[in-house]
Amino acid sequence: FVFGSTTRPAKGAVKKAKEAGVEVELIRPITIWPFPEKELKEIAERVDKIIVAEMNLGQTAGLVKQAVEGKAEVIQHNRVDSGHISVEELYEKIMEVSS
């Protein structure tokens, strides 16, 4: 689950993970208000884990956890040091949680 400027590196990481044989999808809402609770609940019915990558302290991850109601594990990947989340960073996270 990504939004904003984290979308581009997430697309690259998902592509790379798919090439490595990992079954992975990208969830990118156009807007986070209103929050896509219904859609996330539906997605949580068919996945085991959802990585929430965001460049803050995890506010969106909290909303995702609330929306999925424990049906999927929500894994936070936050960056708060004013740097950008990279393709490689997200790819490593995907590989870590998919094993």
Evaluate if residue 46 carries a pLDDT over 90. Answer: yes
Q: What is the pLDDT of residues 66-83, one digit of tens each?
A: 999 999 999 999 999 988
| Phi, psi for 75 (deg, rounded to 5) | -110, 120
Q: What is the pLDDT of residues 16-45, one digit of tens each?
A: 999 999 999 999 998 889 999 999 999 999
Do residues 27 and 1 make contact, with C-beta atoms less than 8 angstroms apart?
Answer: yes
Element (H, E) at 77: strand 73-78
Query: What structural domains and CATH numbers belong to the chain?
Result: 4-98 (3.40.50.920)
